[in-house]
Structure 1
Amino acid sequence: MFGLRHPIALAPMGGSAGGALAAAVSRGGGLGLLGAGGGAREWLDRELRLVEGAWGVGFLTWAIEPGAVERALEHDPRAVMLSFGDPGPYAEIVHSSGAALILQVTDLEEARRAVDLGADVIVAQGTEAGGHGARRGRSTLPFVPAVVDLAGPIPVLAAGGIADGRGLAAALALGAAGALIGTRFQATAEALVDPAVARAIVAGRTEDTERSRVLDIARGSAWPARYTARTLGHPYLDRWRGREAELEGDAGVREQYRADVERGAIPTLPIWAGEAVDLITDLPLAADLVERLAAQAETALTNAVRRA
């Protein structure tokens, strides 16, 4: 569909998957997806100038600014990916442009909606994923084949808990056409993250991650309640875990959160990280990482055949 050398796509992580990272993944033989978030004009205009090769752009469906999708389509992306929310209002806009419509889903109801809307590719995201995802969903291993069976001829990408070639090989064995990978690409030279964030991901462990609404509430984020966020540990998680209802009613906490950010007591943003974070041990160039993941996957599949 996209003329790729490797069945690997960059998760369009809002803010951190900029034009340089998307371009590097494309140079490596994968599909680079720019993480446009809601489509802030200044950010989008700046980063779109950096993309090249087989690239696309991803939006947070619930947060899309008026005209943002149309503005991105003026740059002729190969694909537009929509995640978290009803993609219905944008499906025809994308289809009529000639770009492929990629829809990320977190449960089977969303998967059926994606099929009905004529998705060209469906991303099945399991709960192991870093950043936002289903509050009550399935893990990647049982979710991906269920979506593959439902989607029929529509290619499915597996997402969530994939950080090396073994995970890619597993996705292919489950019937997926490839993998959409996020946290692993945050720890690369081209990612738009603070160096301290990249170092925290490299040092992170699976047991350090937690899925919660606490940090969205504390920072006054408008994320829909049905989507929680998996992050590394955070002082506010320790302080408010299990007390979300109380937190929502305390406006003073949001003021304190902002004050803590300003004085450097806590990171500017939560550190989004998936359960495969402890498989991440270095900060490579993204193009080299794509090649490495593909080679690891080939080795894993070859070894699996030999053992069969």
Structure 2
Amino acid sequence: MALSTAFTRLLGLRHPIALAPMGGSAGGALAAAVSVGGGLGLLGAGGGDPDWLARELPIVAGAGKPWGVGFQTWAIDLAAVERVLEHGPRAVMFSFGDPSRYVERVRGAGAALMVQVTDLEEARQAVDLGADVIVAQGTESGGHGARRGRATLPFVPVVVDLAAPVPVLAAGGIADGRGLAAVLALGAAGALIGTRFQASAEALVDPSIARAIVEGRGEDTERSGVLDIARGSRWPSKYTARTLGHPYLDRWRGREAELAVDQQAQLAYQADLARGDLPPLPVWASEAIDLITDLPPAADLVGALVAQAEDALARAGGR
């Protein structure tokens, strides 16, 4: 069974899988491996740090397969987008903010415009912008997403209906081929997968974070703004982050407003970090973390996910 969809045909892919452009951890090697495996590797450019991009862009661009870059829209400027476009990405994805000012530049470079949405207002804006691919992110996702979003299962088909005929990728809580099969059945043209690929051989993560993902459980994850505030991050308050448990979550849960004005508490976070009393970064983690039990090469993982999806769809059809 070939899982050919509007997404795979648009970008010339073998499989309807895209790597979530996780800031920092989705580096050139991981994005290249996903692309070599037949999916779309998206480099996690975050806020567009020039030095990081200079190091990672040549790695993914040199793989000889379709690839792309994902940005945190609220954190970038036009220079960051221009820097990426010089390397000829097949797609550029924008998340968490209004990408209007970058649309024409991306189109002019011949790249597909991908826009991630977390609610229906953002979905309508993406349609109006003429997005080539829309990513519908549910609240099960690891890392940042909508504070008051919707679960993937009910959200995806609503966006599919709203955006048709634009292909929609599902994101959030997809960590094996059964999840991919499920969102294809919902009308999605593929899946954007993050935490599962964060636990792979090529991910740019500290080994302690990879171990935490393999050993973690979905009930241990929590969506909160506490860690962004404690770290002094400038993330818009609309978007919180799902992580594994953390001492500062236990200390400040429900007291975000108090933490935001407590400079001593924020300085204490940095001091605890410097002493090694805290992990180097929060462990961004999806609710589907229970399904992750190993650290395979990412290219092999793409093939395994597709094989599982094909099997799941065949079994469902057999019934």
Q: Given that residues 40 and 65 in structure 1 are in contact (C-alpha distance below 8 angstroms), is that contact kept between their aligned partners in structure 2?
A: no
More displaced stretch, 124-133 vs 240-249: 240-249
Cα deviation per residue 1:123-156 (whole Å; 9 max; x = unaligned)? 0000000000000011000000000000011000
Paired residue total? 307
Q: Would the aligned equivalents of 1:35 and 1:59 in 2 still touch at CA under 8 Å?
A: yes
CA shift digits 1:248-267 (9 cap, x unpaired): 11011110000011010001
Residue equivalent to 1:131: 143
**Cα-Cα RMSD:** 0.6
- 1:80 pairs with 92, 99, 104, which one? 92
Q: Sequence identity of aligned pairs in percent?
A: 77
1:166 to 155, 159, 178: 178
Which residues of structure 1 form unaligned runs of 5+? Answer: none
- The 5 Å alignment of 1:63-142 reads 63-142=75-154
Secondary structure of 1:49's counterpart equals helix
Letter in 2 for 1:144: V
Gaps of 5+ in 2: 1-9
CA contact (8 A) 1:29 1:290 kept: yes
Letter in 2 for 1:128: E
1:16 maps onto 2:25 in alignment: yes
Residue of structure 1 in register with 2:47 after alignment:
38
Deviation at 1:65, TM superposition (A): 3.7
What does residue 7 of structure 2 align with?
none
Which residue matches 1:215? 227
Q: Which amino acid aligns with 2:314?
A: T
Alpha-carbon separation, structure 2, partners of 1:50 and 1:152: 34
Match of 1:153 in 2: 165
- Please point out which of 39, 53, 56 is paired with 1:47: 56
Asked if the contact 1:91–1:101 (Cα under 8 Å) also holds between the matched residues in 2, the reply is yes
Report the Cα distance in structure 2 between the residues aligned to 1:226 and 1:57, rounded to whole angstroms: 23
How many angstroms apart in 2 are the aligned matches of 1:17 and 1:169?
24
Provide the rounded CA distance (Å) in 1 between the counterparts of 2:164 and 2:17: 20
Moved over 2 A (4+): none
Other-structure match for 1:56: 68
Counterpart AA for 1:11? A
TM-score when scaled to structure 2?
Answer: 0.96
SS in 2 for 1:163: coil
1:255 and 2:278 matched? no
Q: Secondary structure at the match of 2:42?
A: strand
